[in-house]
Amino acid sequence: MTDYRREYERWLDSPALSDEEWHELDAIRDNDDEIKSRFRGPLEFGTAGLRGVMGAGLARMNIHVVRWATQAFASLIVAEGDEARHKGVVIAHDCRINSPEFAREAACVCAASGIHVRLFDDLRPTPELSFGVLHYGATAGINITASHNPMAYNGYKVYWSDGAQLPPHHAEAVARNMAGIDIFNGVASMPFDEAVEKGLIEIIGAETDELFLQNVLAQAIDPAAVKAVADDFQVVYTPFHGAGHILVPEALKRLGLKHIHPVPEQMVIDGHFPTVESPNPENPEGFYLAVDLAKKVKSDLIIGTDPDSDRVGVMARGKDDEFHTITGNQMGALLADYVICARQKSGTMPEKPVILSTIVSTGMTRAICEANGVGYGETFTGFKFMAERLASYAAAGTGERYILAFEESYGYMMGDYVRDKDAVTASMMIAEMAAHYYQKGMTLLDALDALYEKYGCFVEKTVNVYMEGVDGPERMAALMTKLRTEPPADLAGQRVVRVRDYKDGTVSVPGLGAVDRTPISGSNVLYFELENDTNFIIRPSGTEPKIKIYILVRGKDRAECQARAGVCAAVAEAMGKE
Tens of pLDDT, residues 380-410: 999 999 999 999 999 999 999 999 999 999 9
Provide mean pLDDT across the span 206-218. 98
pLDDT surpassing 90 at residue 47? no
CATH 3.40.120.10 in the chain is located at 42-204, 218-455
Query: DSSP for 469-498?
Result: STTHHHHHHHHHHHHHHS--SEETTEEEEE
Model pTM score: 0.95
The reply to whether 147 belongs to the active site is yes
Residue 236: C-alpha distances to residues 71, 113, 216, 290 (Å): 43, 46, 20, 7
Mean pLDDT of all residues in 331-352? 98
CATH among 3.40.50.920, 3.40.50.720, 2.40.100.10, 3.30.310.50 for 457-575: 3.30.310.50
Q: Tell me how far apart the alpha carbons of residues 70 and 52 are, in angstroms, rounded to a whole number.
A: 16
pLDDT, residue 420, reads 97
Active-site residue (options: 113, 130, 147, 299): 147
Contact 514, 526 (CB under 8 A): no
Residue 291: partners with Cβ closer than 8 Å, 6 or more residues away:
302, 315, 323
pLDDT at 542 over 80: no
Domain with CATH 3.30.310.50 in the chain: 457-575
How far is it, in rounded angstroms, from Cα 68 to Cα 66?
Answer: 5
Q: Which backbone phi and psi does 397 adopt, to 5 degrees? A: 65, 25
- Residue 552's pLDDT is 97
DSSP 3-state of 420 = coil
3-state secondary structure of 117: strand
Range 158-181 average pLDDT: 95
Asked if pLDDT for residue 577 goes beyond 90, the answer is: no
| Dihedral angle sign, alpha carbons of residues 100, 91, 243, 44 | negative
User: What does the pLDDT read at residue 454?
Assistant: 95
Q: What percent of the chain has pLDDT over 70?
A: 99
Question: Would you tell me which CATH number, out of the four given (3.40.50.1100, 3.20.20.70, 3.40.50.460, 3.40.120.10), belongs to the domain 218-455?
Answer: 3.40.120.10
- Architecture in CATH for domain 42-204: 3-Layer(aba) Sandwich (3.40)
Question: Sorting pLDDT into bands at 50, 70 and 90, what band is 471?
Answer: confident
